[in-house]
Structure 1
Amino acid sequence: MNELHLISFNYPYPPSYGGIIDVYYKIKALSDLGIKIHLHCFVDQIPHKIDPEVKEITENVFFYQKKKNPLLYFSGTPFAAAIRNSESLLKNLEENEAPILFEGLQTTHIIRFLKDNRHKLYLRYHNNESEYYKGLSVSEKNIFKKIIYKIESLKYSGYQKKLLKKFEAVFCLSEKEYNEVETYSKNAHLIHIFHGNTSVKELDTKGKYFLFHGDLTTADNKRALNDVIDLFKTLPQYKLVVASDRASEDIKRKISEVENISLAPIQTTGNLYRLLEDAHGNILISYQNSGTKVKLFNTLYNSRFVIINENITDDPALTDLCLFGSHMNEIRQQIITSAEKDYNDTEKRKNILENTHSDKAKAEEMIKIIF
């Protein structure tokens, strides 16, 4: 049986935000096809237990606490990578000569310490990190954080150029990133997002509210939510639910001040699906152009109308399944228009999503390349 070390930037459960959705459902799809996964996770705090959903799809799970040394900001290595460094991880990897799949450049700091040629190395390229941090710097209002993100962007620019050629293959999420990597290091493979959905839900024609969901610790999502809150202040006739487990006190206060907006915890995948199933429309906005956002798939498979701006996906087939607004006035108009409409797009979505974006097909392609 084939084995694989997978190093994750965080514990991949519950799969409720961003790249963690891709990590969890990739592990599940590979495991379903018989791959034994040795999962290594960098975390803020070591969990007391491993969730049964993770136990079922892994051979074993190891945790490593992220470093908390603020002096690492002054390291030549990007901070997000420098804090994910562990001698225990190196020892655990040396126990087994299986290939290593790094989830994101932030997990790759240990490559310089690996013994030569014992492992084949693969990268899941979640973002062009240099562009990502540049975008965070633009979105961030706190001047100190703005400078930190700008420096991190510059560090990643050199870091990713130095590292990308070291991998047997770099698995990219989007056309944009595939073209960037292929031009530079000639080892790119386009493997779209793993999202865990198998079939498009059959839903009634009407939902109960509009939904905004995401990780509210990122500057991009916070900026988007602030704009959406301002929008719904002018639309008191419509209800907005903000779903997140990562809302700051400041965000909670802003939400509580608007009568037609409420905050809902996610906590489990089941809760997220229930929130999606009850939503009439979903609002997905980003100010960073980094390919297709993971949460787009969850909304298209499990909910009704999806309203996006140009940074949510670069896939024209997926854009065609959404309502589009290039600025907030157009987004506002799409909210008003969709609120009055019945949802009837299930068959159209089935034809596109179930035929071209299944997790099993993506896992088979990765296995072919790695093994």
Structure 2
Amino acid sequence: MYLHVVSFDIPYPANYGGVILIFNQIKALHAQGVKVILHCFQYGNRQPQPELEKYCHEVHYYKRSRSVFYQLSFLPFIMRTRQPGALIKRLKRDNYPILFEGMHTAAWVWHKRLRGRQKIVRMHNVEWQYYEGLSRSTAPTEVFEKIYYFIESIKLQRIEPKVVLHADEILTVSTNDQAYYREMKANTHYIPAFHPNTQVESQLGRGEYVLFHGKLSVPDNEQSAIWLIENVFSKIDIPFVVAGMEPSWRLKELLQRYEHITLIENPDDRRMNELISKAHINLLVSFQNSGIKLKLINALFRGRFCIVNQEMVSGTGLAKLCYVRNSAAAISQTIEALINAPFEPSKIEERQALLESEFSNTENAKKLMELIKFTV
């Protein structure tokens, strides 16, 4: 059983949302006997990874050119910069099915040389809505970045119907996204996100602090952190921790004003998992209702109490495991109510019943394999 997987980035180290999903999906498929032929784009500081060879039959790397001239293309920049001729040539050497990860990698879906091939596109969210949200949440001082996100959202919305038309199957990671693509008459399937957890490991009793975590360079995460600091953290005298990759100078400057708020910059996987496990409350807020937040899955598998807003859990089926609060006042009241309450065995049992079945990587790999038309 062979499968091409086209990844928008090198999926190891698995240290942010999209690549966490792809890496753990590859591991789960490998465990089921699928021979994955991985294609991934190299850019930034990510380098070829021997770790991937443990789970893949073949691994191919393609340099991603981010030339400013690609901004002039009718295709979205995230797609045009992942359209090397070498990829289509390699895909044409056999007749195996192809899984394109995200709109980013889908520029070859309608190519005539792939006619007759099974082409599956996993939508990590409704991409044009995500970029529209990034434009809204980017600080007004970041003019060029804000404009880029806005133009990209328009291009993505225009090209999306063409991708959907030529894809044989659309996979989504939330039921909200599934409903959206079904409205477009796409052959759509909801398969939850793959993640690094196998069983609930939440600790009983009390933790040490309230934690907000995420990739802090992402505008939505930075906006959420700033909103929480200004409206919640600064008004309650208990320990808070903000942890994540690449915090901006603006966020660091704000955090320095408060002695009871600690910033943990660029923690590795071990440190982040430790922070989640030792927290008494994992507080996760988003201003974008898109896809699924893998940090929420990790917090539920590893942490104690979870307080979230509606955007964080919409379409995930996970609201019943969280305290859903949407205003700063409601979040503050819930923190004060929970901070001295022990995390009890009944909470763990409730999580085990849902997470270890519906969010089982093994079971979801089998669901995915049922959709794939493997060739000999």
With the length of structure 1 as denominator, give the TM-score of the two structures.
Answer: 0.93
Deviations 1:4-56 (A, max 9, x none): 1111111212323222221111111111101111111123247455153x232
Residue in 2 that maps onto 1:261: 261
Q: Output the amino acid matched with 1:350.
A: Q
Structure 2 residue 54 is matched with structure 1 residue 56: yes
Bigger mean CA deviation after superposition, 20-29 or 41-50: 41-50
Q: Deviations over 1:316-360 (max 9, x none)?
A: 741111112112221222222221211111111112211322111
Q: Is the 8 A contact 2:173 2:291 kept in 1?
A: yes
- Identify if the C-alpha distance between structure 1 residues 202 and 153 changes in structure 2 by more than 3 Å, giving closer, same or farther: closer
- TM-aligned CA distance change 1:51 to 1:121, over 3 Å: same
How far apart are residue 156 of structure 1 and its match? 1.0
Report % sequence identity.
Answer: 32
Relative to structure 1, the CA distance from residue 55 to residue 240 in structure 2 (aligned partners, 3 Å threshold; closer, same or farther) is farther
CA contact (8 A) 1:279 1:304 kept: yes
Q: In structure 2, what is the Cα distance between the partners aligned to 1:202 and 1:73?
A: 46
Partner of residue 93, structure 1: 91
Report the counterpart of residue 369 of structure 2 in structure 1.
367
3-state SS, counterpart of residue 200 of structure 1: coil
2:187 paired with 1:175: no
1:36-84 Cα deviation digits (max 9, x unpaired):
11111123247455153x2321122222222221122221111111121
User: Counterparts of 2:109 and 2:186 in 1: how far apart (Å)?
Assistant: 20
3-state DSSP of counterpart to 1:320: helix
Give the secondary structure class of the aligned counterpart of 2:56: coil
Give CA deviations for 1:182-233 in whole Å, capped at 9, x if unaligned: 1213310111111221111141311111111111222111100111222212
Partner residue, 1:27: 26
Q: What is the SS of the residue equivalent to 2:306?
A: strand
Give 1:106's aligned amino acid. Answer: H
2:118 match: 120
Q: Secondary structure at the match of 1:115?
A: helix
Distance 1:315 1:185, change over 3 A: closer
- Structure 2 residue matching 1:312: 3-state secondary structure: helix
Partner of 2:190: 190
- Alignment of structure 1 residues 1-371 onto 2, 5 Å: 2-45=1-44, 47-52=46-51, 54-113=52-111, 115-117=113-115, 119-141=117-139, 142-230=142-230, 231-235=232-236, 237-315=237-315, 317-344=317-344, 345-371=347-373
User: How many angstroms apart in 2 are the aligned matches of 1:173 and 1:316?
Assistant: 8
Classify 1:134/1:268 alpha carbon distance in 2 versus 1 (closer, same or farther; 3 Å).
same
Q: Secondary structure at the match of 1:286?
A: coil
CA contact (8 A) 1:84 1:106 kept: yes
- Aligned-pair CA distance for 1:113: 4.6
Contact 1:77 1:159 in 2 (8 A): yes
Q: Is the 8 A contact 1:46 1:64 kept in 2?
A: no
> 1:295 and 1:17 mapped to 2: Cα distance?
9
Aligned partner of 2:281: which letter? G
Q: How many residues align?
A: 368
Is 2:164–2:186's contact at 8 Å kept on the other side of the alignment?
no
Give the partner amino acid of 2:328.
M
Instruction: Check conservation: 1:46, 1:65, Cα contact below 8 A.
Output: no
Q: Is the 8 A contact 2:92 2:114 kept in 1?
A: no
How far did 1:261 drift?
2.1
Measured in 2, the distance between the counterparts of 1:242 and 1:14 equals 21
Report the residue type matching 1:193 in the other structure: A
**Could you tell which deviates more after superposition, 245-254 or 348-357?**
245-254
Tell me which amino acid in the other structure corresponds to 1:363.
A
Q: Letter of the 2:252 partner, please give it.
A: K
> 8 Å contact 1:130–1:154 — kept in the other structure?
yes
Q: Distance in 1 between the 2:114 and 2:359 partners?
A: 36
Measured in 1, the distance between the counterparts of 2:143 and 2:310 equals 27
Equivalent pair of 1:90/1:114 in contact (CA under 8 Å)? no
Secondary structure, counterpart of 2:12 in structure 1: coil
Q: 2:360 corresponds to which letter in structure 1?
A: S
Q: What is the alpha-carbon distance in structure 2 between the residues aligned to residue 226 and residue 305 of structure 1? A: 22
Rate the CA distance shift 1:294–1:224 in 2: closer, same or farther, 3 A: same
Q: CA–CA distance in 1 between the matches of 2:30 and 2:273?
A: 23
Task: Provide closer, same or farther for how the CA distance between residues 114 and 329 of structure 1 changes in structure 2, counting only shifts above 3 A.
Answer: farther
Task: Tell me, in whole angstroms, the C-alpha distance in 2 between the residues paired with 1:315 and 1:342.
Answer: 29
Counterpart of 2:138, as a letter, is E
Return the alpha-carbon distance in structure 2 between the equivalents of residues 325 and 308 of structure 1. Answer: 6
- Deviation, 1:164, is 0.5
TM-score (norm 2): 0.92
Q: Distance in 1 between matches of 2:76 and 2:20?
A: 24
Per-residue deviation, residues 62-112 of structure 1 (Å, max 9, x unmatched):
222222211222211111111212122223323333211111001112335
Which secondary structure does the structure 2 equivalent of 1:95 belong to? coil
For 2:69 and 2:299, how far apart are their aligned partners in 1?
40
The one-letter amino acid of 2:200's match is: V
Gaps of 5+ in 1: none
Structure 2 residue runs of 5 or longer lacking an equivalent are none
For the residue of structure 2 that corresponds to 1:92, the secondary structure is helix
